[in-house]
Amino acid sequence: MGRTARPAMSAAFTLVELLVVITIMGIIASMVVGLGALAARKRKDAAVTAMKTRITFAIDAYHSKLSVFPPDNANNANYQPGTTNYEASTGQNSLYYELIGATNLPFKGSFSMFFPSDGTAPISGASFSSFCGRGGIANSQPDETRVFFNPPPGPKDYVTNGVFKQLVVPVDLAGVPVGSNFWHYDCSNTNRHNTSGFDLWAEYSAGSDKSGNPIIVTNGNWNLP
């Protein structure tokens, strides 16, 4: 008695099965991309928060010792928060010099030069005034340099804009060259968040929205932890 041959099973997928597999793969891929973006955002947040904590600690130490907060850009008080001019002035502050301290010495008997305690290039009183609108560095003594930023900022923590040094945010801002995104500081504008203290904040990119527009995060010392 002969055997009855079994029909061969088809090895091909149906169209429905293919669509299901493709859909599942798409979901998994989107989840991986989303998790990667979230992890990148968390890394940025952590880096900025750590730097913010370090600067805040130095500012508080400055205030504890000298009974005043480090002077900010004198133009801060002239602009409404949220405007372009205000953003520019708060970003061009003297925190680097105030927190590391400087020595103020006459140069050739005609004008003063400020020599930062970290040994980097000095800046003239005239150049400093043109950047910050102030007569000079408050934390400058001919015989004693008070250093509040310990350890001093490293090369990646600041950038020299001509002859003026500024603290930079450790992560990027959309459309702004790396190293050109400065910490914002305000202790004089009456409309700031911390009216009895100071505002310190960073702005940086956190990916893009569904339309491809960059998402900009503001990480300030008035935010809840």
pLDDT, one tens digit for every residue, the chain (225 residues)? 555 555 555 566 687 767 777 777 766 665 655 555 678 888 999 999 999 999 999 999 999 999 999 999 999 999 999 999 999 999 999 999 999 999 988 765 557 889 999 888 999 989 999 999 998 999 997 666 789 998 889 989 999 988 899 999 999 898 888 889 999 999 999 999 999 999 999 999 988 888 888 889 999 999 765
Sheet with strand 111-116: strands edge to edge: 102-107, 111-116, 123-124
Q: In this structure, is residue 5 part of a structural domain?
A: no
Place of tokens 């998994």: 28
Q: In this structure, is residue 110 part of a structural domain?
A: yes
Look up residue 14 and give its two tokens.
Answer: 């149906």
pLDDT on residue 49? 95
Q: Distance between CA 211 and CA 45 in Å, rounded? A: 23
Q: Which of 203, 127, 198, 118 has its CA nearest to residue 161?
A: 127
Q: Is the pTM of this model over 0.85?
A: no
DSSP assignment letter at 153: P
pLDDT on residue 210? 80
> How many distinct structural domains can be found in the chain?
1
Task: Name the residue range of residue 60's domain.
Answer: 38-220
**Residues β-bridged to residue 176:** 173
Q: For 67-166, where are the alpha helices, taking DSSP H only?
A: 84-91, 95-100, 125-132
Q: In this structure, is residue 158 part of a structural domain?
A: yes
Q: In this structure, is residue 30 part of a structural domain?
A: no
pLDDT on residue 55? 97
